[in-house]
Amino acid sequence: MILRMACLVVMLLSVLPFAQAEETTSAIPQRELVVGVKDAPPFAVKGADGAWSGLSVELWRQVAKAENLKYRFVETKDMPELIRETAAGNLDIAIGAITVTVDREKILDFTQAYYSTGTGIAVPVVSVMNWGTLRRAMTSFNFLQAIVALIGLTLGAGILVWLLERRQNEYFGGGVTKGISSSVWWSTLAMTQRSSAEKGPQTILGRFVATIWLVVSVITIAVFTAGVTSVLTTSQIQGTITGISDLASVRVGTVKGTSSEGDLLRRKLKFQPYETARDGLKALRAGRLDAFVYDKPLLAWAIRQGYASRLKVLDISIEAQNYAFAVPPDSPLRKMLSIAILDTIQKEEWTEARIRYLGEDSLSSP
């Protein structure tokens, strides 16, 4: 009796691994998988013919081929929809530039990360003349206030000299209009150091006021020139953005609904949300923003496409980022995909793909 029971236990133990393997295999869907993807060059790029390419898409195709998976792509309009549909189970897998975050981990499962990067900052390239900065400076309240003050001082000095000189100086005499216009013209020339002694004040009191005005005008012009020079210096904004803390004092933009937006919110930084990175970079180029925050590889790619001489990505990161595929909670696909990803990213084909889409500099990232 005991011998029979022992034999039965041995048989059960020998069969159990095969049963578990069969159960695991059967848990993986044998149907056509629905793969969600959002346009995010260079990780996911939708061509004019509707075909998908990109680093993440290429990785998925290699994994699907290795595991003999059937699938079809479904595009989502933005990242929030991609995350939401995957969490709800309407998508079997989500691929693209998907950052692993705490909030997403609460509602999704992620595979092994296949690329490590960071949240980057794009700024204008310093040039000889930044017309956006010039336009903002010329229409700023401080600049207009200084202009009004300068005009007011010139008018005040001219009228005061006219009151003192009009009866004893032919140049400031005549009617009120002629006299005031002549005196204001003199005060303007005096301020710019262009007046002549022959047409200046002749009375003692008039010359005293003129002397004071000449000294005041020299100081005023010097202060005004220094202020304008400071405002128009092209490095006024670009040169001061050297770290994350500098973002608090400039105009910042990002793509709404992304992990980059979450980074700014956690740091309590004010920002302008945009629908796409393209929209944000256009605003940055036009001078409506001083910095644009987004995933560093996506920023670098977008700038290379049309802003290489005008915008640049700073060599700093706000937050570290890991890209991975997302699957619904407790998906049986997660472990299988993670193993396949680890195997794929060790191959030479993956290195070549990274260079092709991101450049050789990307090889310095894990």
Query: What is the pLDDT of the chain when averaged over all its residues?
Result: 83
Q: What is the pTM of this model?
A: 0.62
Topology alike, domains 26-114+324-364 and 134-231:
no
Does residue 56 surpass a pLDDT of 50?
A: yes
Q: DSSP for 281-309?
A: HHHHHHTS-SEEEEEHHHHHHHHHHH-TT
* Spatial separation of the C-alpha atoms in residues 276 and 142, rounded to whole Å: 34
pLDDT digits (tens, 9 = 90+) for 262-313: 999 999 999 999 999 999 999 999 999 999 999 999 999 999 988 888 899 9
Q: What is the pLDDT of residue 86?
A: 98
Confidence of residue 15 (pLDDT cuts 50, 70, 90): very low
> What ranges do the domains of the chain cover?
26-114+324-364, 124-129+235-313, 134-231
Q: How far apart are CA 283 and CA 16, in angstroms?
A: 62
Q: Which CATH architecture has domain 134-231?
A: Orthogonal Bundle (1.10)
Return d(Cα 365, Cα 296) in angstroms, integer: 12
Give yes or no for residue 327 having a pLDDT over 80. Answer: yes
Looking at the predicted structure, is the pLDDT value of residue 171 above 80? no
Write the Ramachandran bin of 96: left for phi over 0, alpha for psi from -120 to 50, otherwise beta. Answer: left
| DSSP letter assigned to residue 159 | H
* pLDDT higher at 77 or 166: 77
Percent of the chain with pLDDT over 70: 82
- List beta partners, residue 44: 40
Sheet of 33-37: strands edge to edge? Answer: 71-75, 33-37, 93-95, 326-327, 109-110
Q: Which residues of 38-60 are buried (b: 16+ CB within 10 A; e: fewer)?
A: bbbbbbbbbeeeeebbbbbbbbb
Query: Is 26-114+324-364 assigned to CATH 3.40.190.10?
Result: yes
- How far is 129 from 87, CA to CA, in rounded Å? 49
Quick: pLDDT tens for 95-148: 999 999 999 999 999 999 999 999 999 998 865 455 655 666 677 777 788 888
Average confidence (pLDDT) over 221-232: 72
DSSP string covering 21-71? HHHHHHHS--S-EEEEE--BTTTBEE-TTS-EESHHHHHHHHHHHHHT--E
pLDDT at residue 6 greater than cutoff 50 = no
**Homologous superfamily of 124-129+235-313:** Periplasmic binding protein-like II (3.40.190.10)
